[in-house]
Amino acid sequence: MCNKDRIEAVVFDMDGVIFDSEKLVIDCWIPVAEKYHIPDIEAACHDCLGINAALTREKMKQRYGEDFPYDTYKAEMSALFFERTKNGNLPQKPGVKELLGFLKEKKIKVALASSTRREVVVRELTEGNLISYFDEVVCGDMVSKSKPNPEIFLKACELLCVEPECAYAIEDSYNGIRSAYAAGMRPIMVPDMAEPTPEMEELSEQILPSLLDVKEYLESRIKK
């Protein structure tokens, strides 16, 4: 059993937490939707926040029908997204380097738990000069169950050799917060595309407006 006043690890989601990518994904879906007359694409994208590629595909098929050529349209969207973000042009959320630098200075273990597949995660972290901050990286194609199942966060804690109750999880999506809470971690929500709900207020230890506020909060916890 750990001392709950001690911060042993922080586990981050990536899209919408580290990178300002979720709005850009929607922006890249919009021209594809217009080209192929796909209705309500923004609502469809919001419904898929925080989940892995397999579950996203399943949800899109449920919404648009089994004959919906999701893989073809997704490939077209992904090509547009890559073109806009290649060579390190994917925008980072304010305060990300300050928070990661603070955790490194304090020798607090850091992991990533992203529903995105590993190839993309490693490329984006590398191009953003962030990968060196992470002790472990767990991705959507490394686990069998998607958020809100806790598997990805439990695996991250296992690889870091910390008990979940001694680790914070930084998330922006409802499914991410549900996943971290189910893992027994201490969730902090930093809202991006999804506004906090009463459920999120109940499941989160804190809801904070930015990663700079997360840094201040963790600093205050360390000083206690």
User: Of 46, 69, 85, which residue constitutes the final position of a domain?
Assistant: 85
| Whole-number Å distance between alpha carbons of 100 and 211 | 10
DSSP E strand boundaries for 130-221: 136-139, 167-171, 186-189, 206-207
151 shares a domain with 100: yes
Q: Are residues 31 and 69 in the same domain?
A: yes
Q: Are 179 and 153 a contacting pair, CB within 8 Å?
A: yes
In a domain, 15, yes or no: yes
Same domain, 199 and 99: yes
Helix (H, G, I), strand (E, B) or coil at 206: strand
Host domain of residue 175 = 9-20+92-223
- Residue 145 sits in the same domain as residue 196: yes
List, as own/partner pairs, every contact residues 22-29 make where C-beta atoms lie below 8 angstroms and the sequence separation is at least 24, other chains included.
22/49, 22/172, 22/192, 22/193, 23/192, 23/193, 24/81, 24/84, 24/85, 24/90, 24/91, 25/77, 25/81, 26/193, 28/77, 28/78, 28/80, 28/81, 28/84, 29/77
Beta-carbon contacts of 161 under 8 Å, excluding residues fewer than 6 positions away, are none
Q: Say if residue 86's pLDDT is above 90.
A: no
pTM above 0.95, yes or no: no
- Same-domain pairing of 213 and 169: yes
What pLDDT is attached to residue 1?
58
- Domain boundary (45, 66, 85) is at 85
- Identify whether residues 96 and 204 lie together within a single domain: yes
Predicted confidence at residue 222, as pLDDT, reads 85
Whether residue 160 sits in one domain with residue 80: no
Average pLDDT over residues 124-144: 96
Write out pLDDT tens, residues 66-75: 999 999 999 9
Split into its structural domains, the chain has a count of 2
Please identify which of the residues 13, 15, 172, 192 carries the catalytic annotation: 13
Shared-domain flag, residues 164 and 210: yes
Residue 2 binned pLDDT confidence (cut-offs 50, 70, 90): low
For residue 172, indicate whether it is catalytic. Answer: no
Nearest to 222 by CA among 164, 159, 168: 168
CATH number at residue 117: 3.40.50.1000
